[in-house]
Structure 1
Amino acid sequence: MSTLKAFLQPPVAGKTNKVIVSERFKGEDGQPVPFVIQAISQEKNEELSRLSREEKEVNGTVVSTLDNIAYTKRLMKACVKEPDLADSELCKYYGTMDPEDVLGKMLSIGEYKLLSEEIMKLNDLKTSAEKHKEAKNS
């Protein structure tokens, strides 16, 4: 039997999860409303990474570096499906017309961190806390 069949698996891109980020966001029934997040493809991740690179000259050599803040904003916007961060009413309420800035204005530091960690888990990325824990246990 060929091992090829082991690699014929559906892609994880498109997989969704619901996450309660905060008790502050309640529906009409008084219950917390979850954020709906979705995994992206590596192809989309590469696009976000390319868009988040900046070139700087260091000692006469042009060096390309990843702007982690811009990348994180783009990743989170790409993965958050509900609420719709591009919704004009939502953008207007939070005082920005850039959907990438909505989460930074909407969420507390802890809420933002929780949402970011859930997005990383859904996309099979390890958080810094998980890397630290693994390093301690090895």
Structure 2
Amino acid sequence: MSSLGAFLNPIKTENKEVIVSNRFVEKGKSVPFVIRAISQEENKQLIKKFTRRDKNDNEIFDRVEYVSELTSRAVVFPDLKNAELQKAYGVLGESALLQKMLYIGEYAKLAQAVQELSGLDEDINDNIEEVKNE
């Protein structure tokens, strides 16, 4: 039987650089986004935030806003909270900034990288249903 040491000292998941676009260039090189993994605790909070009940007591989950906030929370660089950056794109908020900055394919690439880094290699819908049923 193994000791608890492995659970007390897990290997830290490193931040990951992801080039989602060749439009963000500095000194002739594409500048990567830097992302971090999202914990299950954060994920559960997001699922709760974007799940509501309608007047018939049916559960409604806003998947688009969930993925949007999940993705924006994972971005370490550029600093999506930066007021100057938000002002330059004419938006308020990290999620709105990211959506304004990126084309659809770029956004999808970033969202996929966040999900993979966070361990969502399988269908994200299965994970959402699992958390909602807890």
Please tell me the TM-score bracket, short chain as reference.
0.7 to 0.9
C-alpha displacement of 1:31: 0.6
Give deviations 1:28-48, integer Å, cap 9, x for gaps: x12100000000211111111
Q: Which residue in the other structure is 2:69 paired with?
A: 74
Q: Distance in 2 between matches of 1:93 and 1:117?
A: 26
Structure ranking higher on relative contact order (CA contacts 8 Å, 6+ apart): 2
Q: Which residue in the other structure is 1:20 paired with?
A: 19
Which residue type is aligned with residue 10 of structure 2? P
5+ residue gaps, structure 2, are 124-134
**Among residues 86, 89, 106, which one is paired with 2:84 in the alignment?**
89
Give deviations 1:72-111, integer Å, cap 9, x for gaps: 1110111001011111011111111122111111100100
Identity of aligned residues (%): 35
Q: Which residue in the other structure is 1:51 paired with?
A: 49
TM-score, normalising length from structure 2?
Answer: 0.81
Q: Distance in 2 between matches of 1:68 and 1:127?
A: 16
Q: Distance in 2 between matches of 1:103 and 1:127?
A: 24
The Cα RMSD (Å) is 1.9
5+ residue gaps, structure 1, are 129-138
Bigger CA radius of gyration = 1
TM-score, normalising length from structure 1?
Answer: 0.79
Q: Distance in 1 between matches of 2:65 and 2:102?
A: 17
Q: Distance in 1 between matches of 2:49 and 2:120?
A: 20
Q: Which residue in the other structure is 1:30 paired with?
A: 28
